Chains A and B, each alone.
Chain A
């Protein structure tokens, strides 16, 4: 088996042990083995376990709660683990109006999140300032943090946020993991030298 391939067994180690001796087609393990690349598997893991940082700043946060509750159920997409510590979160969902005073700590929380990280701007206010054209409101959260997905609506329907999450998952799934890992690149350069 090549080093960049990963063997996934759904029926456990024992079966794997039993089939060690036989090479080639084996009916006992048919359907239990999936061959893929490490990169694709890691992207798949990542995309289906996005832990959100709920940045609930206004009424959009109520819709965000609805997304987390049973009717819409964000856990179907592996994102039910709302983390209130930025250290444990992957995706900041900016739900609500970002005032200039809030922009400071929002940026700080984003900076505290470990890489890789993503941002969903939920609703009109987070995306553009919305109806708040005033001295107090930041005209779009993309002025302070890079946004991956914008969701329209005031507030957006829960389905719209789920759609945004699926779009983000698609994006994460397409992002190569290994080539982005600085540590691995370092190892490669060491090997080359």
Chain B
């Protein structure tokens, strides 16, 4: 049994809903074309394919592309150590997909973190509150169009937050195949 075979089983079960499987450096990924079906796919992956451990849920901001969001589920089978990655794309207008809390209870805080940082909502989540920023914070700071320094906001009870001074740093690299001069660490905004 390999991850690829399990991914093909997933493909056989759901047909056109599943794109892939694709392989990169020995890791298997599949994409779910309709994000609204993610909970059904995940339930099958757990119950039938034995992916009993949700390692992580991550989200990607493909700023400027459509659909803007990608939510990535990293699954693992504890017994035989096989891993698979399930990707779901979500448009910016919708910014919503079903919660997998009924499948893995550990997804509770993962989904809260994605909501907090990226602003993607999970329908059916019982307690979708911010987890790292405080209640009432108006922005989603891991979005690409949010400045690293932050924006001025009100923090009730303490009552201030200003953008952090960024002059001269911190330095962010831009991964690309460009030359070293363009790739080197520097202060970056969404424009440059």
Chain B hits for A104, CB < 8 A:
134, 155, 157-158
Q: Which of B132, B133, B161, B166 has the most CB of A within 10 A?
A: B161
Q: Are A135 and B160 in contact (CB under 8 A)?
A: no
Residues of B within 8 Å of A, CB-based: how many?
Answer: 23
Q: Are A107 and B158 in contact (CB under 8 A)?
A: yes
Cβ of B105 under 8 Å from chain A: no
Complex interface residues of chain A between 133 and 178 (CB less than 8 A to chain B): 133-139, 143-144
Cβ of A101 under 8 Å from chain B: yes
Q: Are A107 and B155 in contact (CB under 8 A)?
A: no
User: Separation in Å of the B9 CB from the closest CB of chain A?
Assistant: 42
Q: Are B141 and A103 in contact (CB under 8 A)?
A: no
Complex interface residues of chain A between 120 and 141 (CB less than 8 A to chain B): 129, 131-139
Cβ of A100 under 8 Å from chain B: yes
User: Separation in Å of the B115 CB from the closest CB of chain A?
Assistant: 15
Q: Bound complex: CA of A134 vs CA of B172, how far in Å?
A: 12
Q: Are B164 and A133 in contact (CB under 8 A)?
A: yes
Complex interface residues of chain B between 157 and 177 (CB less than 8 A to chain A): 157-158, 160-166, 169-170
Contact partner, B162, options A131, A136, A139, Cβ 8 Å: A139
Q: Are B169 and A103 in contact (CB under 8 A)?
A: no
Q: Which of B148, B149, B150, B158 has the most CB of A within 10 A?
A: B158
Q: Bound complex: CA of A136 vs CA of B132, how far in Å?
A: 9
Cβ of B13 under 8 Å from chain A: no
Q: Are B166 and A135 in contact (CB under 8 A)?
A: no
Chain B hits for A131, CB < 8 A:
170
Q: Are A100 and B155 in contact (CB under 8 A)?
A: yes
Cβ of B146 under 8 Å from chain A: yes
Look across to chain A and name the residue whose beta carbon is closest to the beta carbon of B141.
A135
Q: Bound complex: CA of A143 vs CA of B160, how far in Å?
A: 9
Q: Are B164 and A137 in contact (CB under 8 A)?
A: yes
Q: Across chains A and B, which 10 residue pairs bring their CB atoms closest together, nearest first?
A: A135-B150, A133-B164, A135-B141, A101-B134, A103-B158, A133-B170, A104-B157, A133-B166, A104-B158, A139-B164
Q: A133-B169, A144-B158 are in contact. List 5 more A-B contacts (CB 8 A).
A: A104-B134, A133-B164, A135-B148, A135-B151, A139-B164
